[in-house]
Amino acid sequence: MKKYLQRILLGLIAFTIGSVAFFSYAGKPWTVMCPGIQVNDLDTLDKKFHAKISTIIATLENEGFDFNVSSTYRSPEKQQCYYDISKVIKKYTGQNGLTTTTKSCHNNTVDGTPSSLAIDLHYFTGSMDDKIKFYKRLRTLARTAGLTSGGDFSKSNPVWAKYDLGWDPGHVQVTGCSKMVRLR
């Protein structure tokens, strides 16, 4: 009976977290629940990546998009927690959750200093059409800059897939960065 109640509780937690992740990027309880750090400071980006992202951000701002930088650098400890939550979400909802990896391009450091090779930009306001327009424009700008967009990831999230966007459309990273990540 105890295992049964534990499964129900885990299922409810996964459903709640999955629903938040699925329907909105706002109000992220996992950022508070998980130990470690996550910042949205552009100064924690890799220098070459920072230059490309700054151009993309300036273009989006000039085009009138109202978006937020949600994440630049993330510690490996926080990444692991996001991954653990994601495994529960995947088990109970079939969705990817927050991340599919324990070693992210957000985790990169150089000589112990954050040097993220990834950024998350999100559009919280406006209609779904506005959000789609933003994420498609972000994907185009990322591609043009020689970067990889989460809008090109697998189309496993039905909300974004029906608009031809990958499961994490606000994510942009250095192409091939997963092989470059250094954690120390």
Token pair for 86: 């994601």
pLDDT, average across residues 172-177: 96
Kindly state whether residue 79 falls inside one of the protein's structural domains. Answer: yes
Which SS3 state, helix, strand or coil, does residue 102 take? coil
Rounded CA-CA distance 54/118 in Å is 13
Kindly state whether residue 86 falls inside one of the protein's structural domains. Answer: yes
- Residue-wise pLDDT for 132-169, tens only, equals 999 999 999 999 999 999 999 999 888 899 999 998 99
Q: Give the pTM.
A: 0.81
Question: 135 is in which domain, residue-wise?
Answer: 2-179
How many of the other CB atoms lie within 10 Å of CB of 89? 22
Kindly state whether residue 184 falls inside one of the protein's structural domains. Answer: no
* Average pLDDT over all residues of the chain: 87
Residue with tokens 């109640």: 5
Residue 147 CB burial class (10 angstroms; 0-12, 13-18, ≥19) = buried
- Residue-wise pLDDT for 53-85, tens only, equals 999 999 999 999 999 999 999 999 999 999 998
Total number of domains constituting the chain: 1
Instruction: Give me the CATH number covering residue 8.
Output: 3.30.1380.10
| CA neighbours closer than 13 Å in the CB half-sphere of residue 79 | 18
